[in-house]
Structures are given as C-alpha cells and as structure tokens.
Amino acid sequence: MIQAILVFNNHGKPRLVRFYQRFPEEIQQQIVRETFHLVLKRDDNICNFLEGGSLIGGSDYKLIYRHYATLYFVFCVDSSESELGILDLIQVFVETLDKCFENVCELDLIFHMDKVHYILQEVVMGGMVLETNMNEIVAQIEAQNRLEKSEVNRVLLCRPG
C-alpha cells in the first residue's frame, strides 16, 4: 500500500501532498520535512529507494523517489509494493501530467493544484494503484474537462448581460 505521495521542490516547498494513512496535520508537515532532508542529501544517479524516516514508520516503509528538474516525487510504500513497479508508476503519473499540461513544470502544480489532485486520483485510490494505462487516464481527465467546460458555458449563458 502507498502510505503517502509527496511532491516538493528542490527547496522542500510542498507542491502536492497526499496521505493515505491518517497522520495528524502537524505530523504530516514534519514527515514532508523529514522526507525532504532524507532525499535532498542523496546524489542523483544513485539508487531510487531508501528506508523511510522514523516518523512514517522507519525501515518497514520505503521511500521510492524520482527527481525531475526542480521537483522530487516521493512515494512512501510498505513492503507489499514492488519497488520497480512504483518507480514506473511515478513515471506514468509524471508523463500523464506532462500530457495534460503540455510540458508540465513546477508552476503548473501551483496554479492547477486541484487538477493535479484529480489526475492523481485517476492513478492512485486509497493508497492502491487504480489505473496504469495512460490512455485511459488521459481519457478520463479529458472527459472531466469537457464536463467542466459545459458547466462553465452554462454559467456564462445564464449570467445576465
């Protein structure tokens, strides 16, 4: 099971935080900070797995991460997940973001925080992999966009003047 999905930038500013196991809010913040410090001190091009920090449960959990330009994508998982599988899942998530935002960058995550969450929800649900087929994920997101557009149009039409 995936315990948490954390995305933060090179300075440790959280950009997407999703916990699938309940932690009190201040602990959530501490976990983000702890994880950032664990990941930050690692060179690029070394292994993508490391043991979880003490707050998230220590060596029973693994942090699986990828570093893209200014952002770290970290999945914290228990022993029931395949490390390489999760690594690929991060890739799928990022590629999907890239398709939806066209050359995704850190600012997209800030401006469209809600949308990023919706995309994530198509990939992971309640800590389990929901869908891995990128075409299917993108199709779902496009359907959402269409729904949204139709609603906006309706609102505009109803507005006086």
Partner 1 sequence: MRSCVLSVFLFHRGEGFSGLFLLAVASVTLNYVKEAEIKRINKELANIRSKFKGDKALDGYSKKKYVCKLLFIFLLGHDIDFGHMEAVNLLSSNRYTEKQIGYLFISVLVNSNSELIRLINNAIKNDLASRNPTFMGLALHCIASVGSREMAEAFAGEIPKVLVAGDTMDSVKQSAALCLLRLYRTSPDLVPMGDWTSRVVHLLNDQHLGVVTAATSLITTLAQKNPEEFKTSVSLAVSRLSRIVTSASTDLQDYTYYFVPAPWLSVKLLRLLQCYPPPEDPAVRGRLTECLETILNKAQEPPKSKKVQHSNAKNAVLFEAISLIIHHDSEPNLLVRACNQLGQFLQHRETNLRYLALESMCTLASSEFSHEAVKTHIETVINALKTERDVSVRQRAVDLLYAMCDRSNAPQIVAEMLSYLETADYSIREEIVLKVAILAEKYAVDYTWYVDTILNLIRIAGDYVSEEVWYRVIQIVINRDDVQGYAAKTVFEALQAPACHENLVKVGGYILGEFGNLIAGDPRSSPLIQFNLLHSKFHLCSVPTRALLLSTYIKFVNLFPEVKPTIQDVLRSDSQLRNADVELQQRAVEYLRLSTVASTDILATVLEEMPPFPERESSILAKLKKKKGPSTVTDLEDTKRERSVDVNGGPEPAPASTSAMSTPSPSADLLGLGAAPPAPAGPPPSSGGGGLLVDVFSDSASVVAPLAPGSEDNFARFVCKNNGGGLLFFNREMMCVKKWFLFLLGRMFIFYGNKTSTQFLNFTPTLICSDELQPNILGFITKPVDPTVEGGAQVQQVVNIECVSDFTEAPVLNIQFRYGGTFQNVSVQLPITLNKFFQPTEMASQDFFQRWKQLSNPQQEVQNIFKAKHPMDTEVTKAKIIGFGSALLEEVDPNPANFVGAGIIHTKTTQIGCLLRLEPNLQAQMYRLTLRTSKEAVSQRLCELLSAQF
Residues in touch with partner 1 (CB under 8 A): 1, 11, 13-18, 20, 25, 29, 32, 42-43, 45-51, 58-60, 80, 82-85, 87-89, 91-92, 106-107, 110-115, 117-118, 121, 125-133, 135-136, 140, 143-144, 147-148, 151-152, 155-156
**DSSP 3-state helix, strand, coil percentages of the chain (rounded to 5)?**
50, 20, 30
Q: How far is the CB of 104 from partner 1 (least distance, A)?
A: 14
Is 40 or 58 the residue whose CB approaches partner 1 more closely? 58
Assess contact for 103 and 88: CB atoms under 8 A. no
Q: How far is the CB of 67 from partner 1 (least distance, A)?
A: 14
Both tokens of 92, joined, read 């799928």
Q: Which residue stretches of 54-133 are H helix?
A: 83-101, 106-111, 113-123
